[in-house]
Chain A
Amino acid sequence: MDDVLDSLSHTEGVFGAAVFDTHGACLASQLRPPFDPVLLGAVVKQLATVFDAFASLDDGEVATFSADCDEGCIVVRHVDDYCIVVLTYPAFNMNMLNVAINVVVRSLGRDGAPSAAPAAPTPPAATSSSVGVPPPATPVVPADAVDRTVVQQFLTIYTDFLGPAAKLVFKQELATLGATSRTLRRSQLSDLMMRLTARIPVPQRQREFTAAIRDYQQRAPT
């Protein structure tokens, strides 16, 4: 059962996939950071309200859902007691994705539910667990890594400018650089700042963010 999501997560354009049960518990997942089963579980919960609203229009439950968004696509398929959720980049082959989802559906039908243990939604330790993917080794902290408290302070400043989405965006940009808050190198810092600044929608706020970071760096050099 460990490889239930293998073909799906390796489909071109797919960057995450998970299987949830009817109670919203994550049964299996293959997600790239910063995504984790807890985050995706919250998304599924949010969508459940949508499905309930539409179920009032027709006799029966929602079978499939997809949303084309600016930065990618989310595809949901309900099969029996399972909910398969797939995250994709904007460009993907829908036919290939359908085939891959069908494979997962058949696997679930044949093998039954995967063990809920490896990807239980609540404990933070489980957030990076994925069926079929060995748990990541503890990241090696480079000698020239930026002090984590400094990175956290950057996030705090960034939150003032981007609001609640700041943490997710921050994680995304760190992941793009192949780093985490612990392994970010000093040489990557300016690149990270440029990327974070670009995600702030208003130019004036971008300048203010840059000034705030500069001000902080002068007070606490990295």
Chain B
Amino acid sequence: MTAGKPTRPNLSQILLGNNASIQGLARADWKGSVLEVAGKLDGETVCAVVAMAAQNVSAAAGQAGLEAPKAWHVSLNSSTFYIVHRQDEFLVMAGNTVRNPTSVLRMLTKSCGA
């Protein structure tokens, strides 16, 4: 593989092959415009929320001196959202709550080639 433009992740492969808890995923640009959706996910809404929240996550990471975020997760009562940053876009994956979302996040980050 030549260096340069990062390869586009295969959403279906991530959905089917990586983690049973993942129900849907989407790819969007940093303005929140959805580029691709797979599985059960309200891509438009979720990507808009992520695009907005990503700025705060970046600001918080910068304030904490941790530099730029590569991936992050938010776990709510019945769902967990995993977000992986890529050069001009982000991937958001939604799934059930799990015992160790940070480990799942790291696994998904690897799967996405980030």
Interfacial residues, chain A to chain B (CB-CB below 8 A): 34-35, 39-40, 42-43, 46-47, 49-51, 53-75, 87, 94-95, 97-98, 165, 168-169, 172
Residues of A within 8 A of B103 (CB): 94-95
Q: Tell whether B111 is near chain A: CB-to-CB under 8 Å.
A: no
Q: Tell whether B70 is near chain A: CB-to-CB under 8 Å.
A: yes
Tell which of B1-9, B10-18, B76-84 binds the partner: B76-84
Residues of A within 8 A of B67 (CB): 69-71
**Interface core residue of B60, B62, B106 (most chain A CB under 10 Å):** B60
23 A-B contacts, Cβ less than 8 Å apart?
A39-B63, A42-B63, A43-B64, A46-B59, A56-B49, A57-B45, A57-B49, A57-B76, A58-B78, A59-B77, A60-B78, A62-B76, A63-B97, A65-B74, A66-B72, A67-B69, A68-B106, A69-B61, A72-B66, A94-B100, A94-B106, A165-B62, A168-B65
What class of interface size applies to chain B in its complex with A? 35 or more
Number of A-B contacts (CB under 8 A): 128
Cβ distance A75 to chain B, nearest Cβ, rounded Å: 7
Residues of B within 8 A of A43 (CB): 60, 63-64
Asked whether A66 and B102 contact (CB < 8 A) given A47-B57, A49-B56, the answer is yes
Specify which of B53, B56, B76, B101 is in contact with A66 (CB 8 Å cutoff). B101
User: A46 vs B53: C-alpha distance in the bound complex, in angstroms?
Assistant: 10
Residues of B within 8 A of A54 (CB): 49, 53, 74, 76, 81
Q: Which residue of B lies closest to A60 (CB)?
A: B77
Asked whether A49 and B100 contact (CB < 8 A) given A54-B81, A58-B79, A74-B60, the answer is no
Residues of B within 8 A of A168 (CB): 63, 65
Residues of A within 8 A of B102 (CB): 64, 66, 68, 73, 75, 94, 97
Q: Which 7 A-B pairs have the closest CB atoms?
A: A60-B77, A70-B67, A69-B66, A67-B72, A46-B60, A58-B76, A64-B75
Contact present for A87 and B53 (CB under 8 Å): no
User: A73 vs B101: C-alpha distance in the bound complex, in angstroms?
Assistant: 14
Contact present for A74 and B53 (CB under 8 Å): no
Residues of B within 8 A of A94 (CB): 100, 102-103, 106
Residues of A within 8 A of B65 (CB): 34-35, 71, 165, 168-169, 172
Residues of B within 8 A of A65 (CB): 72-75
Q: Tell whether B68 is near chain A: CB-to-CB under 8 Å.
A: yes
